[in-house]
Amino acid sequence: MKIVRFLPLALLAVSCGDSGTRSYSIVGVVDSAGVRIVTSAPTDAVYAEAAAEPALVIGRLDGPEEYLFGTITAVARDERGNVVVGDSQANEIRVFDATGVHLRTLGGAGKGPGEFETLSDAWPVAGGNIVATDRGLDRITVFDSTGRVVETTRVEQLGGSEINLNSMFSRGTGGRGTVLHEVTLRSASPVMTGEGTFQSVMEAALGGEPQVLYVRHRFDGTLVDTVAEGRTRPVIVSQLAGGAVSFAQLPFAPTSSAAGSDRGIAVTGGLAYELSLFDPAGSLVMIARLEDQPPARTEEHLRVRAELEANERESPEELMEQYRGMPLPDTLPGYTKVRVADTGELWAERFRVTGEEVGRWDVFAGDGAYLGRVEVPASFAIQEISRSQLVGIIRDELDVQRVEIRDLLLLPES
């Protein structure tokens, strides 16, 4: 299978074509070797709004344990509207009905069948079963609708020595009967000394071996294929006073992201406002992009970040000085997260500057045409778009997590 590498926007030429069904949006459509490439013009169109008040909230500040969450890592709904919630702190999967009433709890801390060392993901599949992944044990576990363990298997590794330990992160379903994993290679995160330009750093990363692979495993742990390649954020090594060495990820560097669904797999390289769609068979079928560029990075971005990351050892001024010595990008990243809605729409979240209170998601139709934006509170992390609702995780001012479901109010096309 051909592996797709994500390159800067300028490396993919697009010619003008049909205007499509939304004339204000599509600039050009190209069909290259069966791959539909759709370029849309930037617009301020609002596609939909998230309801100001949630239709359902699951979680409390105090009360019964089944309603108290530590670290929510996954939220998804089944065919009946039941809500499946994965809590990695408790290593439990909790199932609630469509009204938010607790039905059952699966798993728990441990290494036995049905237990988890590091619960990383959980979601329902057809027939009422629930699939869960354990990053600590590299396992996939399948539960039936009653919570009984159907199968627990270890994930087949890629090439053994080239994979970092504990580097396999679940990204949900990779299509029916499969799990999508993001795997970091040992060559990932090239260590820099603070010398050189951002361009030289990224050129070395883009031109070298891949740092991240998006692979699929069957529920029995068997490796199916590698769908795409991606990049992770470079690591900067700084020499501190007294000879100490600090390691930090390069601020504002783009990273790849992916999300699976039964309709296909969406991937973004993080460099631009662009995403790729792979069909359930793992073949690239479409590239959707905006004819727009991420905004320039400014000194204000550095200042805000430094003030938030300052601690007893390093003041904001000292952090600012460190940042200025790093090969920082001239622009902010593009997309940072992607989702595939149950209707086939593709959602992509723009990079959000620390401190911003609102996050922006760009929405593309299943044919690649840009539909407009949806803005949600920055504290609301979208996990699923289904049944004209947004399912996500909300974090309050006390850092307490809850599950929220908000109605998605579509706006008429202008």
- What is the side-by-side strand order in the sheet with 130-134? 119-124, 130-134, 139-143, 149-154
What's the mean pLDDT when you consider all of the chain? 86
pLDDT of residue 120: 94
Q: What is the pLDDT of residues 106-122, one digit of tens each?
A: 999 999 999 999 999 99
Q: Does the pLDDT of residue 58 top 90, yes or no?
A: yes
Q: What is the pLDDT of residues 153-182, one digit of tens each?
A: 999 877 654 444 447 889 999 999 999 999
pLDDT of residue 6: 40
pLDDT of residue 10: 32
Range with the poorest average pLDDT among 166-175, 266-275, 284-293: 166-175
Per the CB < 8 A criterion, the answer to whether 403 and 67 are in contact is no
Separation of alpha carbons 363 and 119, rounded Å? 30
Give this prediction's pTM.
0.88
**Amino acid at the residue 216:** R
User: What average pLDDT does range 241-248 have in this prediction?
Assistant: 63
pLDDT of residue 87: 97
Which residues lie closer than 8 Å to 389 by C-beta, 6 or more apart?
A: 55, 405, 406, 407, 408
Per the CB < 8 A criterion, the answer to whether 335 and 270 are in contact is yes
pLDDT class of 193 with cuts at 50, 70, 90: low
Q: Does the pLDDT of residue 287 top 60, yes or no?
A: yes
pLDDT of residue 271: 92
Q: Does the pLDDT of residue 8 top 50, yes or no?
A: no
pLDDT of residue 233: 79
- Strand boundaries in 89-222, DSSP class E: 92-96, 102-107, 119-124, 130-134, 139-143, 149-154, 163-173, 178-185, 191-192, 212-218
Angle between helices 299-309 and 316-324 (to 10 degrees): 130
